[in-house]
Amino acid sequence: MKDKVASRREKIIQEALILFAENGYADTSTKLIANKAGVSEALIFKHFTNKDQLLLHLVKAGYRRILAQNKGMLSYVGPEIFLQNMINLPQKLVSEEPLFWKMQQRLTHHEFSKQQHELFMKPVQPIITRAFRELKYQQPEVETTLLLMLIDTIWKKVAIGEAENMAEIIRLIQHKYGLLHAYQP
């Protein structure tokens, strides 16, 4: 019985993620989620209380998965490799979790989603600054801000399928920072 309840809960989560990514949060009703998941709307409320709680679960669980899957990528072994990994991170993350990132892109105006994304990115900011300092950049804080803006734009464009010329853009960023030799597959 527990397996059936868990599988129905997982089906709700899966369908909500798909619908929020495709339609957006505001345009997705719990009734539609229930219909797509093959469950009653009351079951959604039993598991998540309301649509906001379902969204909170999706966002938090998504970031937990992403952190677990990419621990080593954010390890600091040197400035060039770290910066290279940061530049490659948006495409890697979106390819691993396309629906999550598409949902996040649609939720950039949603306060909770924005807060969770900022919490996700906050630890890398001082490490990027450290890398630029070690590479003797004159304005490491400004370079950090620029790189984070580029990374933010890249994941959003990739998530919504507007990634034409992205390989060229990434190479340009790598070239700007002298990283073409630091590639770590």
Q: Are residues 99 and 147 both part of a single domain?
A: yes
User: In the block, which residue shows the tokens 């990115």?
Assistant: 121
3 state SS of 154:
helix
**Number of structural domains found in the chain:** 2
pLDDT tens-digit series, residues 140-149:
999 999 999 9
- Count Cβ atoms within 10 A of the Cβ of residue 62 and give its class: 0-12 exposed, 13-18 middle, 19 or more buried: buried
CA distances from 179 to 7, 46, 147 (A): 45, 51, 13
Q: Are residues 74 and 8 both part of a single domain?
A: no
Q: Are residues 141 and 170 both part of a single domain?
A: yes
- Count Cβ atoms within 10 A of the Cβ of residue 80 and give its class: 0-12 exposed, 13-18 middle, 19 or more buried: buried
Q: Are residues 134 and 162 both part of a single domain?
A: yes
pLDDT of residue 99: 95
Mean pLDDT of 98-106: 94
The domain that holds 30 is classified in CATH as 1.10.10.60
Residue length, the chain? 185
DSSP character at residue 71: T
pLDDT tens-digit series, residues 118-142:
988 898 999 999 999 999 999 999 9
Mean pLDDT of 63-74: 84
For the chain, the average pLDDT equals: 90
Q: Are residues 176 and 142 both part of a single domain?
A: yes
Worst-scoring range by mean pLDDT, 24-33, 36-45, 53-62, 176-185? 176-185
The answer as to whether 118 is a domain residue is yes
The answer as to whether 56 is a domain residue is no
Q: Are residues 31 and 66 both part of a single domain?
A: no
The answer as to whether 54 is a domain residue is no
The answer as to whether 31 is a domain residue is yes
pLDDT of residue 52: 95
3 state SS of 73:
helix
Residue 106, Cα to own-chain centre: how many angstroms? 12
Q: Are residues 19 and 103 both part of a single domain?
A: no
Q: Are residues 30 and 69 both part of a single domain?
A: no
Q: Are residues 38 and 87 both part of a single domain?
A: no
Domain extent for 15: 2-49
The answer as to whether 69 is a domain residue is yes
Residues 6+ apart with CB under 8 A from 149: none
Q: Are residues 78 and 162 both part of a single domain?
A: yes
Q: Are residues 91 and 24 both part of a single domain?
A: no
Going by pLDDT thresholds of 50, 70 and 90, the confidence category of residue 3 is low
Q: Given phi > 0 = left and psi -120 to 50 = alpha, else beta, which region is 184?
A: beta
pLDDT of residue 183: 45
pLDDT of residue 184: 46
The answer as to whether 99 is a domain residue is yes
Query: Is residue 97 pLDDT above 60, yes or no?
Result: yes
pLDDT of residue 109: 86
pLDDT of residue 78: 93
The answer as to whether 55 is a domain residue is no
pLDDT tens-digit series, residues 35-52:
999 999 999 999 999 999
- Asked if 39 contacts 12 with a C-beta cutoff of 8 angstroms, the reply is yes
Q: Are residues 34 and 65 both part of a single domain?
A: no
Going by pLDDT thresholds of 50, 70 and 90, the confidence category of residue 65 is very high
Whole-number Å distance between alpha carbons of 75 and 82 = 7
The answer as to whether 93 is a domain residue is yes
